[in-house]
A and B are shown apart, each in its own frame.
Chain A
Amino acid sequence: MLLINCPYCGEREQEEFTCGGEAHIERPQNPPDLTDDQWADYLFLRQNIKGLQYERWNHAFGCRQWFNVARNTATDEILAVYNMGEKPPQLESNDPLTPCGEPPIGSGNFSTSKK
């Protein structure tokens, strides 16, 4: 369970929030002029990053405000929280070293073959 730092209410439990998916996808201003591919790009295509991802979150059971979160999806670390309309901050994340993003020892995802 994440602990999310709402820009207004401070740290609250994840249960109070809903996630709105990838951030910084703007609804096109001129939908009728777009090709099917361009529209599909806006509507369906998401990066689904393993690692640093910018997401929209809503403090649904609190102040009902939407805001952006920079989260490492592999480790669940929240690296930044920033307001709607702001540019994403430049961040570095510790990307996962192993296939399933877990530490090499304590996960068992090491085979007996030599490193």
Chain B
Amino acid sequence: MRLQNNKNLNQTKRIGFIFDGKKYYGYEGDTLASALLSNNVHLLGRSFKYHRPRGIISAGCEEPNGIVQLELNEFTEPNRRATEIILYEGLIAKSQNRWPSVKYDVGAINDLLAPFFPAGFYYKTFMWPPKFWKTYEHFIRRAAGLGDSPKKDDPHKYEHYHYHCDTLIVGSGVSGLYAAKIAASKNLKVLLVEQEAQTGGAILSSNKHENKINGKNQTEWKHQILDELKKAKNVKIITSTTLFAYMHYNYLLAIQDLQPSKGKDKKNSIRQVIWKIRAKKVILATGSIERPLTFNNNDRPGIMLANSVSKYLNGYGVKLGKDIVIFTNNDSAYQTAIDFHHHNINIAAVVDVRNNIESDIPLKVRNLGIKIYSGSIISNTTGRRKIKTVHIKKINENNVKVLNCDLLCMSGGWSPTVHLFTQSRGKLKFRDEDSCFIPHQAHQNSLSIGSCNGVFDLKNILKETYSTVNFFLNADKKDSLDGKVFESETIKIGKQENAWLINKKNIGKSKMFVDFQNDVTAKDIKIALSEGFQSIEHVKRYTTNGMATDQGKTSNVNALGIISELTGQDISDLGTTTFRLPYTPVTFGAMAGRFVKEFFDIERTTSIHSWHVRNNALFEDVGQWKRPWYYPKKNETMDEAVSREVKATRDSLGILDASTLGKIDLKGRDVSEFLNRVYTNAWSKLAIGKCRYGVMLGDDGMVVDDGVTTRLGEHHYVMTTTTGNAASVMSKLEDWLQTEWPELEVYLTSVTEQFGTISLNGPNSRKIVESLFPDQNFSSESFPHMSYKEFEIDNVPCRVMRISFTGEICYEINILGSYALSLWNKCMDIGKNFNITPYGTEAMHVLRAEKGYIIVGQETDGSVTPVDLDMNWIVSKKKYDFVGKRALLRSDTVKEDRKQLVGILTVDPSIVLEEGSQLVEVETSLPMPMVGHITSSYYSPNLGRSIALALVKSGTKKKGAKLIVPTVNKSIEVEIANPVFVDPGNERLLA
């Protein structure tokens, strides 16, 4: 039932929504929970294990029961807390974990079978025999499900947003708002984050007539402060934003929930934003969470946390009952009685476990004529779909008084919300007098204020906030006090009394729920302890207490209390379980942000990319690069296309976009000495205008990169690296120069993208360059293999190198990136007469394998030396030192039976081996001793048969030997061969 004239709602604006197929109405400003409760919908779902009827118990993110499936189809989200969903027109939600309906649920049979579902049930029952797990799994998964995960792509957008500020304030209750005001007056850049749609925190649930601040009621005070903050340019306030992670160096993550848009914008609108916040100082004003009491049948719909009931009443104008009973162990719940009294609603009884109740608020309740049962407990409740009666009895007496009621408000004390504080590695201490963990020692530059710091009364909150925030924010530690002083009257508060287990004797026969979402009872905890689990972390895992989606916000401290009571140990000795991030669940969509579909990974494209796309290239990812893989013509398979490209290149002319190779410009006095140190071969005598191939090792002697370096001038070289290693080689070279050899006068500059690189390969490649540069002589005498010249086309300079990765005559032309596409087109035009054929990375691989050229990262894997690659010729014996030299003499690297590079030919020439296949000498029973593996394998159209490269133990000495490649269906016979299959005499290359 709804009260009129609630200030937090816009009661002129009615909002229609659908829950479990039925249409209801709420008002603007409602949450789904408040709207459902105002429509008398209490039963929201079935519990996880026993399928007991459950209703909403709280009004915030701690809610364990009120979780729903929001929206349908591609927009659906499971496990959303109804207490956090802001109502909007057309909202559709349904209850979860019930079949066929929430009122008649088949799984409820589990409740009757409860004795068979104790703690550790799943562990004990479904472990053996292991192979039966497949049978169990299907049923367990179905029974254990919460909501349904979405089956379709989420059409919403998600955003990440980086934000830096001087002061981050988490929570906008009294202390948070006050701190923001103080920080604002110090001219700091302030970010105030509030998890609910409205600012105010506890102000929203407090009675408007009590607890004035400087004579104003709290709501008026809030609006005054908010108006000031909104005017300040240095303050930003975001609501519906939950801070869920607090990491190193004040790096925090928050998730902002935005209202779903309507109509045509719905699909691409931003649904959630993850704020990535780096704050100089953090003020935690996260408040506290009320604890339930643990008594028999404490989980019926209509049994709720007392303060949450007040919030529904004061904040949303929802009257939750007519006959109300309050059950408490502390003073705070009495405020709920006063709140209802203000609205002339009858409180049937307050049941208080304490005997002496003399403090201010309880006295006020007594004076209102409300019946108080002191030293009493509620021993049981009845009511299937909603609470009907409570059984009240004096502690240690047996007489039970049965009272009818439709709402039971409970309060077991308060737990400060220290989750973020402990995530930040702050240390807690346990305060016995009201049984709560409070911040003790901060690890980072942060401050806890208000009730998350264990300060619960308004007067002290105001006083401490003023002094501690001022001190915390003063950079110079001067005692300058900013911000207005706010005060409130003194209220005498009574001591709380621990009541972890109500009616402990009865624990074995009762259903006293501790964790409502995971259906863990006090009895389960007792079983875990009696089975020998001692550490709180073990008890948690065995019982699953606190492991549901609410992460035990209402149950963790109660579980500790129960363990303490059952074992007689102090809670401070038990410690707590870890408060893990995220504080509340975060969707995968939000984590992925914009980086899905076409933005899934960074893409790099060359200057010629648009040509490749227009000419139907398929692309291969090489690092971040999109490189043409092959260019299929109509109806061509991949094998056909690659064979055509390979054959055309050997027969006439192939053209490759080689722009992705890394290029590093080296200048300075000591470049040749530097090259001597980082490459295995000698560089001192390289003439200007000549190119040389080099292999780079790590200091462990293993190949890390290879490429051609060209000497352009006396003190000027340009190095090429493999596509994938361009950045890491550059970084390693800088490392050597900066840290080991600062005496060398060498400067490096990356010029990878200054140039587009076009590689012309094949016997007719000379015809093209002769046509491009008509005045030049390209004969092998004047422009031999491994040399370099600079020419011009239309006044654009071109660096031309005669080097080869195919074994054919090849000219690589480097031209300014913006001309590369135009030059490519020109080559294609001139090349028409020579069947010019663009080829991709696959044909490139085949061509180089035919010639026995290695690819770093394919023939090598970080465990291969140049000697293993049969490349002794490139390892200088004369140089005293180079990177990797010493390691080539280690006992392991000189072993003769290391894996060495060889060619492999299958006896049946039509079989193309799988790359990665293992090689064995003889077939034995498993495991077979293997002697090597295939690193590259292709069909060679030029040889008309398959070829492969492999690393084989002592391979270089075993040419001609037979090996076997065992596969699932058959064993393939192969022979070790020379790895150079085409043109071993280099006649074609040097022609």
The one of A2, A31, A60, A102 in contact with B425, judged by C-beta atoms closer than 8 angstroms, is A102
Given A1-B247, A56-B739, A103-B441; 6 other pairs, CB 8 A cutoff: A18-B731, A27-B699, A39-B887, A65-B738, A105-B440, A112-B573
Across-interface contacts of B700 in A (CB, < 8 A): 43-44
Across-interface contacts of B429 in A (CB, < 8 A): 105
Chain A nearest CB, measured from B289 CB (Å): 16
The one of A1, A56, A64, A107 in contact with B251, judged by C-beta atoms closer than 8 angstroms, is A1
Across-interface contacts of B578 in A (CB, < 8 A): 106-108
Q: Which residue of B lies closest to A56 (CB)?
A: B739
Total number of B residues with any Cβ neighbor in A under 8 Å: 51
Closest 4 CB pairs of A and B: A110-B575, A31-B886, A106-B422, A3-B249
The one of A20, A44, A108 in contact with B735, judged by C-beta atoms closer than 8 angstroms, is A20
Chain A nearest CB, measured from B424 CB (Å): 10
Interface check B428, CB cutoff 8 A: yes
Q: Which residue of A lies closest to B536 (CB)?
A: A108
| Cα(A60)–Cα(B563), bound, Å | 52
Check A103–B443 contact: CB distance below 8 A. Answer: yes
A-B contact count (CB 8 A): 117
| Cα(A103)–Cα(B428), bound, Å | 9
The one of A43, A56, A108 in contact with B699, judged by C-beta atoms closer than 8 angstroms, is A43
Interface check B567, CB cutoff 8 A: yes
| Cα(A58)–Cα(B733), bound, Å | 13
Across-interface contacts of B567 in A (CB, < 8 A): 112
Binding site secondary structure of chain B: mixed
Across-interface contacts of A85 in B (CB, < 8 A): 742
Q: Which residue of A lies closest to B162 (CB)?
A: A13
Across-interface contacts of B437 in A (CB, < 8 A): 105-106
Interface check B776, CB cutoff 8 A: no
| Cα(A85)–Cα(B738), bound, Å | 10
Across-interface contacts of A79 in B (CB, < 8 A): none
Check B425–A39 contact: CB distance below 8 A. Answer: no
Check A60–B426 contact: CB distance below 8 A. Answer: no
Check A31–B890 contact: CB distance below 8 A. Answer: no
Across-interface contacts of A76 in B (CB, < 8 A): 248
Across-interface contacts of B427 in A (CB, < 8 A): 103-106
Q: Supply 8 A–B pairs (Cβ within 8 Å), ascending by A.
A: A32-B885, A60-B731, A76-B248, A103-B422, A103-B443, A106-B576, A112-B563, A115-B573
Q: Which residues of A contact B (CB under 8 A)?
A: 1-3, 13, 18, 20, 26-27, 31-32, 34, 36, 39-40, 42-44, 56, 58, 60, 64-66, 75-76, 84-85, 102-115
Interface check B880, CB cutoff 8 A: yes
Q: Which residue of A lies closest to B439 (CB)?
A: A106
In the complex with contacts A27-B699, A31-B881, A105-B428 CB distance below 8 A = yes
| Cα(A110)–Cα(B574), bound, Å | 7
Check A108–B278 contact: CB distance below 8 A. Answer: no
Interface check B595, CB cutoff 8 A: no
Chain B nearest CB, measured from A25 CB (Å): 10
Q: Which residue of A lies closest to B250 (CB)?
A: A3
Across-interface contacts of B278 in A (CB, < 8 A): 3, 13
The one of A32, A39, A113 in contact with B534, judged by C-beta atoms closer than 8 angstroms, is A113
Interface check B474, CB cutoff 8 A: no
Interface check B780, CB cutoff 8 A: no
Check A31–B579 contact: CB distance below 8 A. Answer: no
Check B535–A36 contact: CB distance below 8 A. Answer: no
CB neighbors of A among B547-589 (8 A): 563, 567, 569, 572-579
| Cα(A34)–Cα(B543), bound, Å | 59
Q: Which residue of B lies closest to A1 (CB)?
A: B251
Check B890–A36 contact: CB distance below 8 A. Answer: yes
| Cα(A60)–Cα(B732), bound, Å | 11
Q: Which residue of A lies closest to B540 (CB)?
A: A108
| Cα(A106)–Cα(B889), bound, Å | 52
Across-interface contacts of A58 in B (CB, < 8 A): 731, 734-735
Check A108–B537 contact: CB distance below 8 A. Answer: yes
The one of B534, B886, B891 in contact with A112, judged by C-beta atoms closer than 8 angstroms, is B534
| Cα(A108)–Cα(B563), bound, Å | 14
| Cα(A7)–Cα(B430), bound, Å | 42
Q: Which residue of A lies closest to B422 (CB)?
A: A106
Check B738–A31 contact: CB distance below 8 A. Answer: no
Across-interface contacts of B426 in A (CB, < 8 A): 103, 106
| Cα(A1)–Cα(B573), bound, Å | 32
| Cα(A28)–Cα(B270), bound, Å | 57
Chain A nearest CB, measured from B427 CB (Å): 4
In the complex with contacts A31-B885, A36-B891, A107-B249 CB distance below 8 A = no
| Cα(A109)–Cα(B247), bound, Å | 20
Interface check B476, CB cutoff 8 A: no
Check B699–A112 contact: CB distance below 8 A. Answer: no
Across-interface contacts of B536 in A (CB, < 8 A): 108, 110, 112
Interface check B740, CB cutoff 8 A: yes
The one of A2, A18, A105, A111 in contact with B576, judged by C-beta atoms closer than 8 angstroms, is A105
Check B575–A109 contact: CB distance below 8 A. Answer: yes
The one of B537, B569, B740, B886 in contact with A34, judged by C-beta atoms closer than 8 angstroms, is B886
Across-interface contacts of A107 in B (CB, < 8 A): 422, 575, 578
